[in-house]
Amino acid sequence: MSFYTIYLKSIKISYKSKLLSESTLFYSLCLISNLFIPLFIVYRSDGFWRKIEFFSEQPDINFKHNLILVLQLNHSLPGFKFWSTYPQLNSVLRSNQLSLPYITNREIDVNGDGKYDELNIDLNVAINPNEEVIGTQLILFFDYKINVTNIEYYSLKNGRRLRVIGDLVFHQKVPLVYRKHYIPNNDLTNHFQDFFIEDFLEAYVRRNFSTSLNSNTHYKWFAKHENISDFDINVKIVYNNDQMFYYRTGFWFLIKWAFIQYFAIYLVLRFLIKKIISFVFDNRLLNCIECHPIISENK
């Protein structure tokens, strides 16, 4: 007749000693070491408090249908043509400095995820045939939930068309706020009477959060042809699908990450220390009283 083990129960052996003894001191040192050595190891590894964390996601970008356009002219008075979507800003300039463009724009959701992936915008500016355009500056405003990018190009040759293709990238000088990925938009166009594009762009660059076209942006300048009195700007801006952001973590994230690191080392060290304690007391390396439950019951 065969037998099967259906239940197991371990016998717990206790070791007793006086409060002031070598055995008590050894056991106390083991417990303290098990608590504080993992803390020391994790803290010295320079990763205990993760105050800055990174995440990658596709930003929600929308063109705000606001822009500022400047065409630099050669040997002409005035030396530029200007137009913006801000009536107060246009009213500061004289009529011969303004040129209303014909604008068409379209934002495209390529992968159908509900977020726009690129912007196509075309501007057609009517100018006199004898006016020579040598440079253009186009400032576009976006709801990034951060805004503004600057497109600037100059050529030594008179032209009638500029084509730009580039990626819109995000720059940050300080971490984002934990669980608050919306960046407040401080409108830099409030003071129209003292508005200068150079000062506007300098103030924008000094902001903690900004956007721009990346260094791989392609510019194509088309030279002037006879009997063409318009200047065309064709811009294609691609919104990057995934961009890396960094933010300052919150209190509970710090505690969670610190506990994970501490507990992982604590478990390993606890296993090793228990082996050491068991070896010391099983082999009677320190003076103590061994209390066996079976022997105690027989007595």
Helix (H) or strand (E) holding 117: none
Query: How much is the mean pLDDT over the chain?
Result: 81
Per-residue pLDDT at 146: 44
Give yes or no for residue 2 having a pLDDT over 50. Answer: yes
Q: What is the pLDDT of residues 285-298, one digit of tens each?
A: 888 887 877 655 55
Residue 93: pLDDT band with limits 50, 70, 90: confident
Helix (H) or strand (E) holding 232: strand 230-239
Q: What is the pLDDT of residues 206-264, one digit of tens each?
A: 888 888 888 788 888 887 666 667 888 899 988 876 778 888 888 888 888 889 989 99
Q: What is the pLDDT of residues 118-169, one digit of tens each?
A: 999 999 988 887 788 888 888 888 887 644 566 665 655 667 788 899 888 8
Name which of 235, 70, 83 is nearest 168 in CA terms: 235
Domains of the chain, residue spans: 25-49+265-299, 56-248
> Cβ atoms within 10 A of the Cβ of 91, count?
9
Give yes or no for residue 186 having a pLDDT over 70. Answer: no
Average pLDDT for residues 101-116, to the nearest whole number? 88
Burial class (CB in 10 A: 0-12, 13-18, 19+), 42: buried
Q: What is the pLDDT of residues 48-72, one digit of tens each?
A: 788 888 888 778 888 888 888 988 8
Q: What percent of the chain has pLDDT over 70?
A: 85
**Alpha-helical segments (H) within the chain:** 22-44, 87-91, 197-205, 251-282, 293-298
Q: Say which amino acid occupies 122.
A: D
Find out whether 129 and 75 touch, Cβ atoms under 8 Å: no
